[in-house]
Amino acid sequence: MPSRLVVGAGSTARAIIDAVSDGHGELWVLTDDEHRAETLREDGVSVTVTDEFGRATMRERDIAPVTVAVASDDPSVNVAAAETAAELFPDAFRLCYTGYGATDSQRDRLDAVADRLVDPEAVLTERLRESVGEPGSRIRNLRGVLRDIDGHLAVVTHDNPDPDAIASAVALGELAARAGCEVSLCYYGDISHQENRAFVNLLEYDLVNLDADDAAALETYDGFALVDHSRPGVNDQLPEDLPIDIVIDHHPPRLPVEARYVDLRSGVGATSTLLVDYFERLGVELPEHIATGLLFGIRVDTKDFRREVSAEDFLAAAQLVERADMDALQRIENPSVSGETLSIIGRAIDNREEEGSVLLSCVGELSDRDALAQAADRLLDLEGIHATMVYGVLDGTIFVSARARGADIDLGEALRDAFGQIGSAGGHADMAGAQIALGVLDGVDDREEPLHSIVKSVVNDRFLDVVQSRSHRLLGRIDGRTEFGLDEYVKRLRPADDNERS
């Protein structure tokens, strides 16, 4: 019966154990780590805990392994185990891993008895050299720039930052602080997505919301770093001519990027992956709250390892999993929902009206405006719907939240056109919002009509007028075809029996 012997229970050994524990033949693990042994036993693996990797231990069970994998994290354990295994099981295939920090003599002794030797430091150095050229000089350059700033560094994300941008800023901020900088993590716009706010709050990230109208505020900073974007004034509100010290980004740049230190690697799925690499190269241990954020950043940016994901993203995530607070991630991704939110989502579903591929829903009075965004998100899952707008009234103000899928309609622009004159509106192509004071609506004061129907007719009409006047941009959204003209489109968008709004 083929048997396998694995020495070690750290992450490398664990990867080997997972790969070979397929139920064919006996698997025996030797480790000095009681805690990890317990975890393995829970998974049904046969484990012996020992500090001694000599003949007595390895003879304890009567097996003649066909494969021996020596893969503990400790080079001295690996040398002892590999040499004993070579003596006792001369015919076995021996895979030997050096672990980190092996001396030259330990490496030589392992090499002498290994059929295959794996040296993580050599592998890493090789990979870094491939991906960024000579790595040592880059690290020195980044350190040099950080030391040179020697004052207050603003690490700036792109507008309305996503988890990748936020986590990258937090991570770079940590490295800058260790290099002696005073650090502020800054962004323009909002962190509006409920999940992203939970992310920032739960991990207690301290972020500064900059005001685009207050240029003087920038004078307090001695240096600027951009993460997850690469040019001042493009996807942030910094002046275009602001001198930038550091850029770390994974998006391919459209124009040459100017900064004292530039790291653009478009081959990876997330800026967070690049930051993991810096911690590794600088030998700085990742604090839990930062590891958690970076892992979430990679997962969100790669759509859970499905979009533009690279081997580097997987490797970075594997390191982060060891340090991250998985319970916190769970709470960020599946926040508990309040009864109020649930009933607003319920009302949004009940009250929905569909106009072609656009869904509108008025939920009436509300006490929690965040629920609107969640309702607009949920309703976007409805078959055939490409844009949703959910709104309700709180403290004399109408709050509107809209979501879209695909790029044929720019919701931010649409809401600005529809409500910019009578209130405030803004956002992105796929996610936008507006606020309108009730007082500006005709008929509200004399209340000839119920408030609810006034709000509904104003909001629905204004939004649909804008969407329809740009309906050429929505062509193709109906049945995925574009053969019919604008008139036909409008007819389909506003069915004949719909006279409620007029």
Q: How far is the CB of 165 from Mn ion (least distance, A)?
A: 6
The residue number whose beta carbon is nearest to Mn ion equals 164
Cross-strand bridge partners of residue 26: 3
Closest contact distance (angstroms) between CB of 406 and Mn ion is 20
State which residue, 161 or 232, has the beta carbon closest to Mn ion: 161
Output 49 or 264, the one with its CB closest to Mn ion. 264
How near is the Cβ of 333 to Mn ion at its closest, in Å? 18
One character per residue 173-212, x = contact with Mn ion (rule: CB under 5 A) = ----------------------------------------
Residue 302 C-beta: closest distance to Mn ion, Å: 9
Phi-psi region of 384 (alpha: psi -120 to 50; beta: other; left: phi over 0): left
Whether 314 contacts 305, CB under 8 Å = yes
Residue 368 to residue 394: CA distance in whole angstroms? 8
- Measured from the CB atom, the residue of 228 and 277 that comes closer to Mn ion is 228
Which pair of tokens denotes residue 353? 């009206």
Return the H-helix or E-strand segment holding 158: none
Q: How many residues bind Mn ion (CB under 5 A)?
A: 4
Q: Residue 215: which residues within 8 A CB-CB, separation 6 or more?
A: 239
Piece of the chain touching Mn ion by CB under 5 A; list 21-29, 128-136, 299-307, 314-322? 299-307
Nearer to Mn ion, 6 or 156 (CB): 156
- Smallest distance from Mn ion to CB 264, Å: 12
32-66 b/e (C-beta count within 10 Å ≥ 16 → b): bbeebbeebeeeebebebbeebeeebbeeeebebe
Q: Which range touches Mn ion (CB under 5 A), out of 43-51, 129-137, 263-271, 435-443?
A: 263-271
Residue placing its CB nearer to Mn ion in the complex, 83 or 301: 301
> Can you tell me the distance from the alpha carbon of 60 to that of 248, in angstroms, rounded to the nearest whole number?
53
Q: To the nearest whole angstrom, how small is the minimum distance from the Cβ of residue 228 to Mn ion?
A: 4
CA distance 103 to 28: 28
* Whole-angstrom distance, CA of residue 309 vs CA of residue 406: 21
d(C-alpha 209, C-alpha 465), whole Å: 34
Q: What is the C-alpha separation between 156 and 226, in angstroms, rounded?
A: 5
Identity of the residue, 234 or 444, whose beta carbon is nearer to Mn ion in the bound complex:
234
CA nearest to 312, candidates 262, 276, 282: 276
Which positions from 152 through 171 interact with Mn ion, judged by CB under 5 A?
Answer: 164
Beta bridge partners of 424: 435
Nearest approach in angstroms of CB 428 to Mn ion is: 15
Q: Which is nearer to Mn ion, 310 or 388 (CB)?
A: 310
Query: Of 222-230, 322-330, 400-408, 453-461, which part binds Mn ion (CB under 5 A)?
Result: 222-230
Kindly state whether residue 355 participates in binding Mn ion, applying the rule CB under 5 A.
no
In this structure, are residues 310 and 267 in contact, taking their beta carbons and an 8 Å threshold? yes
Task: Write down the least CB distance from residue 167 to Mn ion, Å.
Answer: 9
- Only segment of 8-16, 301-309, 316-324, 374-382 that touches Mn ion (CB under 5 A): 301-309
Task: Pick one of 73, 174, 228, 313: the residue that binds Mn ion (CB under 5 A).
Answer: 228
- Cβ closer to Mn ion: 24 or 251? 251
Q: Is 249 in the site for Mn ion (CB under 5 A)?
A: no
Q: To the nearest whole angstrom, how small is the minimum distance from the Cβ of residue 300 to Mn ion?
A: 8
- The answer to whether the CB of 58 falls within 8 A of the CB of 85 is yes
Residues 461-490 that bind Mn ion (CB under 5 A): none
361, 354 contact by CB (below 8 A): no
Q: Give least dist CB 163 to Mn ion, A.
A: 9
| Shortest separation between residue 301's beta carbon and Mn ion, angstroms | 4
Question: Quick one: the chain helix, strand, coil %, rounded to 5?
Answer: 45, 20, 40
If the CB atoms of residues 157 and 184 are measured against Mn ion, the closer one turns out to be 157
Residue 453: how many other CB atoms lie within 10 Å: 13
Backbone φ, ψ for residue 31 (5° rounding): -150, 160
Stretch that binds Mn ion, among 30-38, 49-57, 91-99, 296-304 (CB under 5 A): 296-304
- The answer to the question of residue 301 lying near Mn ion (CB under 5 A) is yes
Question: Whole-number minimum distance, CB 445 to Mn ion, in Å?
Answer: 48
Nearer to Mn ion, 263 or 301 (CB): 301
Query: Whole-angstrom distance between the N-terminal and C-terminal Cα of the chain?
Result: 81
Partner residues linked to 7 by β-bridges: 30, 70
Q: 32 vs 308, which CB is nearer to Mn ion? A: 308
Task: Considering the complex, state which of residue 301 and residue 417 has its C-beta at the smaller distance from Mn ion.
Answer: 301
User: Which of 63, 62, 82 lies closest to 72, judged by CA?
Assistant: 82
What is the per-residue DSSP string for 225-253?
EEESS-STTSSS-S-TT---SEEEE-SPP
> Applying CB under 5 A, which residues contact Mn ion?
164, 228, 271, 301
